Amino acid sequence: MLGVMSKPWKKLDEAVLIAPGEKAILKKRDTVGEELFPDRDEAEASLAADVKEIDKLQDQLWAERTRALLVVLQGIDTSGKDGTVRGVFGCCGPLGVTVTPFGVPSSEEAAHDYLWRIHNAVPKRGMIGVFNRSHYEDVLVVKVRKFAPPEAIEQRYGQINDFEEYLTDNGVTILKFMLHLSKDEQRKRLEDRLEQPKHNWKFNPGDLEDRKLWSDYEKAYETMLERCSTEHAPWRVIPADKKWKRNAIIASIVRGALERMDPKYPKPSWKPSDFKIE
């Protein structure tokens, strides 16, 4: 059974990874993740162990200060991007993690090329940076809502791959997660926002407009997955209908990536015995 095994992320990866060039048919991909972490208690135990380890590894990453980890979260409204940030990175020391949400570009941002605001938010060496939405909005909402000419959008897939390769070559490991939610589960989550007074603030009538464009978004996501899953920065499609499972899967993969990065505390050039504190 998956869960608190020594390296569960290896098996998880087989289920969620989009191989470079692979056609991603979202309707055929599970939004529940039946096979992954079948037991909720086990998933929660695994998550608790992983977030502790992520925090520890982040400390080493910061001490080493030569590389960074960038986690990209994409998903339709209510897919759980905020919940993932809270559930997976909420226990990390606040000095080591930056979270950047990308909304509608400001006038300053819109005056630059679309990657300008993105590059500016890439985590510096030693940090974990989480993008809540990202440069991928520029081939998703921008494509579906026709905010840019199709020829410009067409060029972006290659530009994004080059940009991500450049970052990877410069010491930034990139993990990209698409939170894959069913239309039914989105309905439930939107209804909850209308029915629960303390969740009313989360309701945005604009989300209903995007819901009407569900199949256009699905197509745009599929193209993004097929064209931008690369050796250096592959996409992972995460079943997102169950929040506890989503967090356990993502934490396990993040921990695995940090373990493979294997950050080390630097060895000082001096000996502690060289000093005496009066």
Residue among 36, 62, 73, 77 that touches ligand ATP (CB under 6 A): 77
Q: Is 142 in the site for ligand ATP (CB under 6 A)?
A: yes
Backbone angles phi, psi at 172, to 5 degrees: -105, 115
Q: Give the x-and-dash track for 84-123 against ligand ATP (CB under 6 A).
A: -----------------xxxxx------------------
By CB under 6 A, the count of residues binding ligand ATP is: 16
Q: Is 204 in the site for ligand ATP (CB under 6 A)?
A: yes
Could you list the beta-strand ranges (E) of the chain: 68-74, 97-101, 128-132, 172-180, 235-239
Contact stretch for ligand ATP (CB under 6 A) within 85-93, 129-137, 186-194, 263-271: 129-137
Residue 108 CB neighbours (<10 A) = 9
Interior angle at CA 78, CA 32 and CA 204, nearest 5: 155
**Per the structure block, which two tokens stand in for 273?**
């015995």
Residue among 52, 133, 211, 219 that touches ligand ATP (CB under 6 A): 133
251 contacts 47 by C-beta, under 8 angstroms: yes
Residues 6+ positions from 195 with CB-CB distance below 8 Å:
none
First CA to last CA across the chain, in angstroms?
56
CB of 107 to ligand ATP, least distance (A): 13
CB of 102 to ligand ATP, least distance (A): 5
The tally of CA atoms less than 13 A away on the side-chain side of residue 224 is 28
Closer residue to ligand ATP, CB minimum distance, 45 or 163 = 163
CB of 41 to ligand ATP, least distance (A): 29
Q: Is 213 in the site for ligand ATP (CB under 6 A)?
A: no
Rounded to whole angstroms, the Cα distance separating 262 from 61 reads 8
Q: Is 17 in the site for ligand ATP (CB under 6 A)?
A: no
Closer residue to ligand ATP, CB minimum distance, 85 or 249 = 85
CB of 143 to ligand ATP, least distance (A): 10
Rounded to whole angstroms, the Cα distance separating 257 from 71 reads 11
Q: Read off the DSSP letter of residue 266.
A: P
Residue among 71, 97, 138, 176 that touches ligand ATP (CB under 6 A): 138
Which residues here bind ligand ATP, judged by CB under 6 A?
77, 81-82, 101-105, 132-133, 137-138, 141-142, 147, 204
